[in-house]
Amino acid sequence: MARMTERLTAAFRYAAQLHATQLRKGTPVPYIAHLMAVAAIVLEHGGRENQVIAALLHDAIEDHPRNGATRQEIREQFGPEVLAMVEDCTDADTHPKPPWQDRKERYIARLPGTSREAKLVSLADKVHNARTILNDFIQVGDELWDRFMGAKDGTLWYYRTLADVYTREYPGPLAEELESVVSELERVARGS
Instruction: Estimate to the nearest angstrom the gap between the alpha carbon of 150 and the chain centroid.
Output: 16
Separation of alpha carbons 37 and 43, rounded Å? 10
d(CA 189, CA 192): 8
With H, G, I as helix, E, B as strand and everything else as coil, classify residue 23: strand
Whole-number Å distance between alpha carbons of 75 and 63: 17
Q: DSSP per residue over 68-121, as a string?
A: GHHHHHHHHHH-HHHHHHHHHT-S--SSSPPPHHHHHHHHHHHGGGS-HHHHHH
Cα distance between residue 131 and residue 142, in whole Å: 16
Residues noted as catalytic? 62-63
- How far is 164 from 12, CA to CA, in rounded Å? 31
Residue type (1 letter), 2: A
